[in-house]
A and B are shown apart, each in its own frame.
Chain A
Amino acid sequence: MTRILHASLRPFAAIAIYCLTLSLAAAQSPAAPAQAQTPASPLAPGVTNIGSIYGSGARQLITIYVKPFVNKGVAGADPTLEKTINNDLMLSGFFQGPRVQAFADETNRLDQAKGTIQFAEWVRVGVFYLVNAEYAMESGQAKVNVRVYDTVSQQYVYGYGYPYDPSRARGLGHWIANDIIKRITGQEGVADTQILFIIQGDAMGRTKQVAMMDADGSNVRTLTNRGELAATPCWGAHGTEVYFTTYRDFNPDLMGMILNSRYQWWVSRAAGLNLSPAWCEANQRIALTMTYEGNSELYTVSREGKGRTRLTYNRAIDSSPAWSPDGTKIVFTSDRTGNPQIYVIDLNTREERRLTYEGNYNDAASWSPDGKYIAYHSRRDGEFQVCLMSPDGSGSRVVTEGEDPSWAPNSLLLVFSSKRNGASQIYSMFADGTNVRQLSHVSGGAQSPSWSPARAKSE
């Protein structure tokens, strides 16, 4: 049924995407000077390489100001778009708002009075990039025309006319924010991605639901039933599937779900735990922890649950697998030395190697999509800390208080859960520990976040 539906919808979607691509190309060519030209700002290079952030001192944030949008005759325009763009820019970890908002507002009034942008004034109040946007009707269609300026070089960075639909302002805001981030920093934004997490249901915390939210914490929706006990969600094939553990059938079984279709199937229903799945797009396998042979061991299965392969053989608990981006290694937790430590197994040689030696409780490793870092949590003095290290185990360091880190697809941001403000909630941060922002506001508590892969781009 689902397949038939998909197949029949596909031509329409393809046509829609094709038209969209055409209209974008048409809209873009006269306005934007060059497609991928990154402006030569003295501030930008410092943020393009995490290697330079990691271990170094303070990172320079780019001061950006989004001018209040001007409405030229579009009915129903509301502040959602403006707020979403502003919020996404701040969440990206590259930007900061003006130091003194009043100065920026004053300069904006000066711009309006003179009718042109007073670049020197903007530099004087410390704003280096300006976003100037207006709603306008163009040949019967509502548009939002966004223009970005570099105030230091007094250059027009890029401009674009986006079709505007008030009911889809949030998605459009993510799109625009990503474009601005890409043009200014050269980095891919993650504003249009999603985060999976677990909502602890009632006051007793007895139910746990799999939920999903946009990367800015908005648009929270649950994927499983009320009253269900679910755990450890992860993203699956193509970023359109989700795998999670559920007690729906009174055993912690692994279930697969296709997003937006609610199509579900059992991936693994062995007796005992079928827990903490991790999907590898490179070789199309799920790594998970299973106990049906009497002890927590690592296995891999296909997304249909076929071809079960056992990876670890010892009497300790082996758990929490995470793939290297190329799918050749799996990093996992084992307490074979008496306390949980992080190990890595090479899938070709089956060679296992211990990575962490600091702290007596290290768990929940997550390999960055660019392969350069492993994030994990470490229990220090009874508190969980998010830590980073190189894939060879060297250079470990504590980043911030929190647990269960998960990488954003651009390898620059991390999402994690923390109890810093009372109940456990989901936070995001730049990988160097700066720009920590609370994303979830769930009464019962939120945990086990998992950041989606990059959104499929229209080809």
Chain B
Amino acid sequence: MGNRTTSITRSVGKPGLACACMLVFLFSSGCLRPSGKSAPRITPIATPAAMAAPAAMDAATTSTTANGAMRAANPESLGEGARLLVGREFDPVYFDGDGTELDSEARRILGEYVDWLKGHGQVWLALVGYCGPDQGSKFGYNLAMARALAVEDYLVANGLDRKRIYSIGYGRTGSDDATANRVEVMGFMAPSQPAMISAEPDNPPEPERPVPEDYR
């Protein structure tokens, strides 16, 4: 139990922070953000956390989920210059109001992405779904995720390997216009050496009846 506990703590602690840094970096990096004609322009910022992101990753950071999708990639391929490595940008896919259906324009764009991605097997995709501020905070996550999954499913149905894609539901955005309802498509270079760890949940310590904490 003791050894197991230690290993859990390690797998959750340091690499977790690294991933968080990476995530912030991914979100805040202007380079990764597609500059679609109607997409809101977001100024790149570098948070202290992102600046401090360690370049090397623990083996435990990357893992494979039940369906084989990669959870995390090498941050070096997601950092500055990822766009240059990938060689192109991807416009976001937009949705109507409360919907998760892909319209013909979205299908056309995604079809074009599939064609391009089939010729560039080293490029993997992160899909980040958003919804507008008029959605409920909880339901909005599901809607955003459903949108990302709709894009993922469409890409897979058109012949893209599912392990090259991972989808995120970010939830609500602050912007009030129609561009809030979108899925952002970000390309990054495939990690060179994906390490595998078990996707089984880790065991927390046995439940204990807590001693009432008397701060008085």
Interface residues of A, Cβ cutoff 8 Å to B: 1-3, 6, 9-10, 13-14, 16-17, 20, 163, 168, 171-172, 175, 202, 204-207, 225-229, 231-232, 237-240, 247-252, 255-256, 258, 260, 263-273, 275-276, 284, 289, 291-292, 294-296, 303-306, 317, 319-320, 333, 335, 339-340, 361, 363-364, 377, 379, 382, 384, 403-404, 417, 447-448, 455-458
Contacts and interface: CB of A to CB of B under 8 A. Distances in A.
A232 B136 CA distance: 12
Nearest 10 CB-CB pairs, A to B? A305-B201, A227-B49, A363-B136, A271-B65, A456-B212, A265-B204, A13-B211, A240-B210, A320-B138, A319-B142
Nearest to A6: B208
A340 B204 contact: no
Interface stretch (B16-24, B87-95, B111-119): B16-24
Given A231-B171, A240-B210, A251-B65, A263 B27 contact: no
A264 B79 CA distance: 28
A329 B163 CA distance: 37
B142 to A, nearest CB: 4
Given A207-B24, A317-B146, A379-B134, A271 B201 contact: no
B107 interface: no
29 contacts: A3-B1, A3-B205, A17-B214, A175-B216, A206-B24, A207-B24, A207-B47, A228-B24, A229-B23, A229-B27, A231-B141, A247-B20, A248-B17, A250-B22, A250-B23, A263-B9, A263-B204, A265-B12, A265-B202, A266-B201, A267-B204, A272-B145, A284-B207, A333-B138, A339-B98, A364-B138, A417-B137, A448-B137, A457-B212
Interface of B: 1-2, 5-6, 8-9, 12, 16-17, 19-24, 27-28, 42, 45, 47-50, 61, 63, 65-67, 69, 71-73, 98, 100, 134, 136-139, 141-143, 145-146, 149, 153, 166-171, 173-174, 199, 201-216
A359 B36 CA distance: 35
B214 A266 contact: no
A204 B142 contact: no
Nearest to A265: B204
A226 B49 contact: yes
B65 A319 contact: no
A273 to B, nearest CB: 5
A59 to B, nearest CB: 29
Nearest to B215: A171
A317 B149 contact: no
B20 A248 contact: yes
B212 to A, nearest CB: 4
A273 B141 contact: yes
Contacts of A206: 24, 27-28
A2 B205 contact: yes
Given A225-B49, A273-B141, 19 more contacts: A3-B208, A13-B213, A207-B24, A225-B20, A226-B48, A229-B170, A239-B210, A248-B20, A269-B201, A270-B65, A271-B67, A295-B146, A296-B145, A303-B204, A335-B139, A363-B138, A363-B139, A379-B134, A458-B214
Contacts of B136: 320, 333, 340, 361, 363-364, 377, 379, 384, 403-404
B22 to A, nearest CB: 7
B174 A205 contact: yes
A8 to B, nearest CB: 12
A241 to B, nearest CB: 8
A399 B9 CA distance: 44
Given A256-B204, A265-B12, A361-B136, A317 B143 contact: yes
A249 B58 CA distance: 12
Given A2-B5, A296-B142, A403-B137, A263 B205 contact: yes
Contacts of A339: 98
B138 A304 contact: no
A9 B207 CA distance: 16
Nearest to A255: B12
B138 A3 contact: no
B139 A319 contact: yes
Given A2-B5, A268-B201, A272-B167, A248 B28 contact: no
Contacts of B146: 291, 295-296, 317
A267 B50 contact: no
A1 B2 contact: yes
A320 B149 contact: no
A344 B198 CA distance: 35
A252 B169 contact: yes
Query: Which residue among B199, B212, B214 has the maximum number of chain A CB atoms within 10 Å of its CB?
Result: B212
A328 B167 CA distance: 33
B203 to A, nearest CB: 6
Contacts of A268: 201
B141 A232 contact: yes
Contacts of A2: 5, 205
Nearest to B171: A231
A291 B149 contact: yes
A265 B138 contact: no
A304 B203 contact: yes
A317 B142 contact: yes
A276 B141 contact: yes
Given A363-B136, A456-B212, A250 B72 contact: yes
